[in-house]
Structure 1
Amino acid sequence: MKKDNPCISVCEFDGRTGWCLGCGRTIPEIREWRKLTPYRRTALLRELPRRVKQVRTDGRPNPKAGKRRNFLPEPSSSPTV
């Protein structure tokens, strides 16, 4: 894990918001992370703690309850340009 990458290797997604229960990012944000400008990364890093807190405290007694996806699709083996 790189210093500025928020991933904590949980990769479970809330079905309602699409946010990862570990880092708070959506799948498209995770895929595009390395391509984001420093400004956009910083803005997203500031937003993520609020998302994680909201997903974990949205009124459900158990943060693992509800619909979620337990996987992150593997990136294709072919390089993208």
Structure 2
Amino acid sequence: MSGASSPCIRICVIDPASKLCEGCGRTLQEIAQWSRLTETERLSIMATLEERLSSLRDDAAPRRST
């Protein structure tokens, strides 16, 4: 489907703990269904990805002891 919105940045690595793609923040189910979703559904998911990736990075950051 040409011209469809996609957050893919070609860094396709699934985080084992969160089950999110470390590149785009989508779940495997979202990735698999992407071409069948409407543009509205895609944009709705894309609106959540920045927050997902931020949480993923926060969880992966090393913890400092005080």
Q: What's the TM-score bracket when you normalise by the shorter of the two chains?
A: 0.7 to 0.9
Structure 1: segments with no counterpart, 5+ residues: 62-81
Instruction: Name the structure 1 match of 2:57.
Output: 56
Q: Deviations over 1:13-63 (max 9, x none)?
A: 1111100011000111111101001221111010011111110112532xx
The answer to which structure, 1 or 2, has the higher relative contact order (CA under 8 A, 6+ apart) is 1
Distance 1:17 1:59, change over 3 A: closer
TM-score after normalising by structure 2: 0.79
CA RMSD across the alignment: 1.9
TM-score after normalising by structure 1: 0.66
1:17 aligned partner, one-letter code: S
Structure 2: segments with no counterpart, 5+ residues: none
- In the alignment, is residue 4 of structure 1 matched against residue 5 of structure 2? yes
Structure 2 contact 8–24 (Cα < 8 Å) conserved: yes
Structure 2 contact 4–39 (Cα < 8 Å) conserved: no
Structure 2 contact 6–42 (Cα < 8 Å) conserved: no
4+ residue runs over 4 A deviation: none
Distance 1:22 1:59, change over 3 A: closer
Distance in 1 (alpha carbons) for counterparts of 2:4 and 2:38 = 16
Query: What is the count of residue pairs matched by the alignment?
Result: 61
